[in-house]
Amino acid sequence: MPTSSLRHYKPLRPLVRAGYHTARSWRRLPGNVRGILWALLGTVLFAIMGALVKLLGERLHVTQILVFRQLFMLVISLPVIIRGLPGSLRTKAPMLHAARVVLATGAMVMGFSAVIELPLADSTVIGFSRTFFLTVFAIFFLGEVVGVHRWAATILGFIGVLIIVQPGGGSEFNIYTVIALAGAACAAIVGIILRKVSQLDPPITILTFQAAFVGLLLTPFAIYYWTPMSQGDWIILAALGAVSWMAQMCNIQAMKAGEATVVAPMDYTRIVYASIISVVVFGVWPEWTTYVGASIIIGASLYTMHRESKRKLERKNTIGEGA
């Protein structure tokens, strides 16, 4: 390239140099710090995702929204799925995958319906009850032993949920609070099944069934409830797909960089962003019961995580002593 041509690139040198130093500084950060920062970015994106779903839900049926979201996720995952064929479709647990797809579909439909119909802060906080359902279902499906501390935290968490679900500020009972709880319960069972299938099948198989069959299951309902879409709807749908993917990637990066016990609690900052978006975008102030219930739920969830972390450490030490 002639010397005269290089002059055109001189203004970019400070930017390139700054980018290089930023990347070096990022790599020098402790893993847990990087994990927390990725997780915080992910929670912002998940809150934005909820706002986009709520905006779309003013005109479109929830199944129509979900089909396009799943289609976007499938397109992104397709190169990995195709490279893994035919192994990506081979499974040792077809019935578990079928149950997972049906329950994941139910969890998404109910969860997104709650986001559309409830104040954004309320649907976000009720979604946190998944932790307590997970504790209960682990007893029945995985045979886990739950001590008095975790039982106390679980009961306290459900009390927090009841504070939010009950009518507040003179408002009438909203059936979508129950739907949000049912969605959280389905998501918890999906988590239990995921623990099982991850012991039997590789990650590529789990990804393939989730990416392909949830959208396929929803398609007939989306066709039945189809509403013609405006240019604005298409733009928001594209943004929803992109934000959903970026939020998932942030979560993956967070878990890769930091310890789960450090990173996982960052998810509860979503209530802050959801409350801000609820007020600024939709003009809805959360009820005081939402904040009281959220405090109880978050406190109980953090204690549950602490007890789970302690139990894992004790089991590890026991195995180490017996070795």
230 Cα distance to chain centroid: 28
Instruction: Tell me what pLDDT residue 76 has.
Output: 83
Cβ 298 vs Cβ 163: under 8 Å: no
Confidence of residue 221 (pLDDT cuts 50, 70, 90): very high
| Rg (alpha carbons) of the chain, rounded to whole number | 22
For the entire predicted model, the pTM comes to: 0.79
Residue 83 has pLDDT above 60, yes or no: yes
Instruction: Tell me what pLDDT residue 39 has.
Output: 83
Rounded to an integer, what distance in angstroms lies between the CA atom of residue 69 and that of residue 244? 8
Instruction: Tell me what pLDDT residue 266 has.
Output: 75
Rounded to an integer, what distance in angstroms lies between the CA atom of residue 141 and that of residue 134? 10
pLDDT in tens, 171-217: 566 788 889 999 999 998 988 888 888 888 887 888 788 888 898 99
Confidence of residue 12 (pLDDT cuts 50, 70, 90): low
- Least confident among 9-18, 96-105, 127-136: 9-18
pLDDT in tens, 146-162: 777 778 888 888 888 77
- Helix ranges (DSSP H) in 228-281: 231-257, 260-263, 270-280
Instruction: Tell me what pLDDT residue 155 has.
Output: 83
